[in-house]
Structure 1
């Protein structure tokens, strides 16, 4: 990495190169205007060589080749070339007697004052020696006249050069400080993002993450004109009853915490509709944000949506007094911060959904246990009690009438067989092994057979070919239990002669229909009083269908039977529809 001195030296070198080109161009114009063709030809040749030399030095300067020794070599080359031009163009009568300006300016601007004056004095002395040996002392008069002009000019150039070097060094120092501040800010932001990610992974309380987001959002203001402008004003607005309320804020007066926004106009409405962040100037003119006192001192504001999945929970606002505060870097940083807050919202929502699902599964299990207890009580338990009473009756009857006792034993045998069938039917509905081995259609057919054997109920199965290939195992299990619940309800309450179960697909939606020709019922009246009933059959069906992102539709008319339709999406697009 370059030091501040190196950066300022590079800038001074480019200034020297530009001045050298001006001197060389001026020398070329002077030589071309001379009348002595032989002298002019030699001078132009030397100037061409000097130009190529200057181009080469420019390339070396651009690639930063050997900078420490390069500047002294540059000075020596200028000295030799300028002296050669003077000597070959006529000595004291040379139109280039002033060429000492080339090394003089190089030394005065690039080095210290004494170096510049030393170079111009040494150059003048060498010119004097050449004149004395070639022309005599009479040629020193033009040289003296030139020296009177060049020496003060070189001195002034050295003063200006020193001042320029100080200014360039100060500018380089300021740039370095700005770079250091930017690096420090980036480190703080990276550390803040890391800490926020740790907070997201360590807690399910999204409000803690939102508070951390507001605190981190103030980081950019700590290094950007912190002494001139106030800190960032920020707030989190959450939806509650279709209105945006202040959930948390920084540098908000108490009156602003009571402000409620509809979220339909201005930047709030734009962010909620597009689900993209937006930056505005003068939020005091915004139709909804103008209610906030805290934003009246802000000249720029950034709004970011809190959107998790397909639901927008609210908006995060950051305001500042600088109109250009939210540049591209700050926008990217704040968007990263809010994205972590959105992740926390999603985690909290998933955790809440998981808890709800867990509670619903527990309720379904409890209802299944209650149903089993009711079925055992209404069926096998009563039958076993009846068997015990009849066994006692037969024991006494055998002492008086063995023929009647034999007939009673036949009745007991029939009751025992029916009880065994009911128990096997209950075991089948609890865990139908055929569902795992042969699939849903086979399980429904076996359910129909057992309903006929056990209860004498006619159940007809109509299944679309290859329906099994479109279903996963968990879907088959849930659909079977829904069908068993619906058929059981129809058998108990509908007084139906026939029950039909139809399973098919419509586009990418599975349709399961359970229809009977029973007495029917008033759907609205039954659902209105369902919480007062002991059975929760329809609730169970709906909750099981929701496990598959499905829905249950019940159509019934008194005297015309009932039809229950279960719709289960087989793809994500169908679930959205």
Structure 2
């Protein structure tokens, strides 16, 4: 039912109701209901009929208005995301590319191709450039919530990792789709991506494992690698931005977060327990 039709029904329903009641009363009920009783029953009957039907119409109208509000909010958010993506692309991304070109020229001119510090700076710049490009992609891509599949997203992400970074990624995902809320899916996926990016940047390995399983009152997700990573002392003293982001996300979701070195294995663990 369209918005305009609902408004017309709300406007005319009381009039139609009283007209029908008066017609039926005078044509069929005068021998059973006298005029005085009919006059008393008229407002009661009109109230009951209009209350039942108008309540339903109002609920439809409210639902339509809420859907319109949500659609407008999503459109506004999409516009802001696209605007921010353009600003990142036209500003930071292009500036980083220009700096990278100038650094390569500077390195060749000063014969720094084999200088360890220079190569480390180049690698850092490349990581920043990749992070910026990924941020632009994330801003441009707004998943369709109705068709959003958590499991499919995880497998697509692993495929992209293998293709873009030539990594050996092991995936054992046993958390059921319905176990996670929409917000949990978004936040957990962001933590996984941040943990994997830390492995790519710092662990000096091309092997990583993503393991997740359900427990009696929640679930556990681990991201593991065999790279150089951190010592347990460095983990506790680290003030890295990526690590802090994961801690903050986990805290906001009331999840447990740990990162520790077990033998030669660095393990990032995110755990949800029942309350």
TM-score normalised to structure 2 length: 0.50
Work out which of the two has the higher radius of gyration on C-alpha atoms and give 1 or 2: 1
